[in-house]
Amino acid sequence: MRKPALYSRTVRGRSAELPAGDRAGGNGRSPAAPAPQGEAAQPTPGWRGALSRAAVNPRAMWAAMALLSALLLASTLTRGPAGSRTLTQADVDAAVLRTLTTQNMPSAAARAAEKIRPSVVRVVSYVRTPGGADVQHGVGTGVVIVDKGVILTNLHVVQGGGKIEVMFADGSESSASVTGVQVENDLAVLQAHTIPDDLFAATLRGTGDLVPGDQVVAVGFPFGIGPSTSSGVISGLGRSFRSPEGEQEIGNLIQFDAAANPGNSGGPLVTMDGEVVGIVTGILNPTSHRTFVGIGFAVPIESAASAAGLPPF
């Protein structure tokens, strides 16, 4: 049975109470008990603290468990002969801690990109020439918001085209049709005709508590290459943007500085938790070149979700 769109319950005011892994999309653990009044919370010492901090990296966890097993086996084999040295708990602690602290942990941006990537699709529109051939008209990005194949993208990616094709994260492709538009925000809703069995919908998060300086990641297909990932911060809120052709002005946009280029249009702008807060819609360049100079814009997800008729946050 297909699930409805997923909404995050992440609230900035609760971030001091919940560890990052316990927010929406995390591992569901209960928050730790607060330190007694007058006492500062102390980090867990030794390898147990490092193991807790490394919990987000399965490779480090498996490496630690493999090393621990080897050490325990070695300890068993070395017991017996008089005078032979057996492994102590201090040996085990030191070896496990050394393994955990020398592992290369993925960055927050890498984890966010990995979480959103299964929901990101490549969108291509075609027009038919007088000779009957289909010629590529627009290339952009989309994000799956309902796992029955409902996709958000930019209207300018598909407008004026005929046939629309989408490519999912697993490499499978499908034709798609436009089922809704929100012209004032340059948004289009697509319905894929054939979908993978394990299609993942992105988690959507409201923008009410975003502030300039918050880290974000943009994932998409710049110039058709991808999926590509770039990271940056939110530069401003409530911005306006006029398209290079001067045909339309869009307001109430998120300004960001994660690199975006033609082809990123329609892709998700996500938090470090991998939750979608906007749909990339344009870039600002004072020259005639349509390349990134550090200012991009995204439609807040509240507006984008309403284009698909989804309930409000």
Yes or no: say if 280 and 266 are a contact pair by the CB < 8 Å rule: yes
For residue 156, indicate whether it is catalytic.
Answer: yes
Where residue 25 falls (left for φ over 0; alpha for ψ -120 to 50; beta otherwise) is left
Segment holding 73, helix H or strand E:
helix 58-78
Yes or no: say if 270 and 291 are a contact pair by the CB < 8 Å rule: no
Query: Which residue among the candidates 119, 228, 231, 265 is catalytic per the annotation?
Result: 265
Query: Which residue among the candidates 119, 137, 156, 235 is catalytic per the annotation?
Result: 156
Yes or no: say if 133 and 127 are a contact pair by the CB < 8 Å rule: no
Query: Which residue among the candidates 186, 230, 257, 303 is catalytic per the annotation?
Result: 186
Contacts of 206 (CB under 8 A, 6+ apart): 7, 8, 277, 301, 302, 313
CA distances from 69 to 77, 142, 206 (A): 12, 45, 45
For residue 193, indicate whether it is catalytic.
Answer: no
Dist. CA 79–CA 98, nearest whole Å:
24
Helix (H, G, I), strand (E, B) or coil at 224: helix
For residue 30, indicate whether it is catalytic.
Answer: no
Contacts of 98 (CB under 8 A, 6+ apart): none
What amino acid is encoded at 79 in this protein?
R
What amino acid is encoded at 247 in this protein?
E
Dist. CA 150–CA 97, nearest whole Å:
46
Dist. CA 146–CA 151, nearest whole Å:
7
For the record, the structure tokens of 300 come out as 């807040």
Which of the residues are catalytic?
A: 156, 186, 265
